[in-house]
Every structure is written in structure tokens, then in C-alpha cells.
Amino acid sequence: MDDEPEICLAFSKMISYLGYPDPAVFRDGTSLVKALAVDRESFDLVLMDYRMPEMNGIEAAKIIQRYRPNTRIILVTGIDSAKQEALSEGLTYLQKPVPMEVLQESLEIELGEK
């Protein structure tokens, strides 16, 4: 989830390349939260940006955790000051730009594959 289409496309391609087919893409926290809460979609893992319109990544993560406590969340952002807040909420934090190897390792750890 990222409000920048280029970032969504890049991560979607990287995730698919790593063997995770058909990642869902959301442009803001509201649409993701709606998909989880209202539409009852289910995701094992959510990668999201911190700074987005309507609600930031931490706010969206709190709502996701309320509705789907087993969903793993990785906050991916270029904002270094969000690291402590993300970690205090139990989120994994990755600093943009994210090298492919770091993304792969993080996905494997979060999904219990490593």
C-alpha cells in the first residue's frame, strides 16, 4: 500500500519476482482497511508506506491489527523518524529504498518461511 503508483508497481513486481503471485495493491489506508473490515478480505502480510492521504501507515496498522490480528505488517518508508513508532506498535520497519535481498528476507521471516 502506497499512494505513489510507481512505488506500488515497483513493489508489486519485486514481490511477484520473489515468488508471491498476484499481490493486491491499495493506494491509501482507507481502501485497505475497508477491504479488510467491510469486504472481509484476508491477507497474510501487508507492506505499507507511512505517509499517505487520510491516515498514515501506523493508524492503518492499528485498525488492521484490530480486525485481523494475525496479519503481519511491514512499514516501508523513507521517514527515519517513523522507525521507533513502528517498532513500538510491533511492526517490522524497512527504510526506503529497499534492496531486493532485504525485502526477500523480510517477507520470508514475516511469513514464517525462514
Domain boundaries, the chain: 5-110
Is the pTM higher than 0.75? The answer reads yes
Stated as kind and residue range, the H or E segment containing 11 is: helix 5-17
Strands (E) located in 1-114: 45-48, 72-77, 92-95
Q: Does a cis peptide bond (omega within 30 degrees of 0) precede residue 53? A: no
CA triple 87-67-43, angle to 5 deg: 80
Helices (H) and strands (E) in the chain, counts: 5, 3
The pLDDT tens digits of the residues spanning 77-90 come to 999 899 999 999 99
pLDDT at 7 over 90: yes
**What are phi and psi for residue 22, nearest 5 degrees?**
55, 55
CATH (residue range 5-110): 3.40.50.2300
| The pLDDT of residue 18 | 96
Burial (0-12, 13-18, 19+ Cβ within 10 Å), 13: exposed
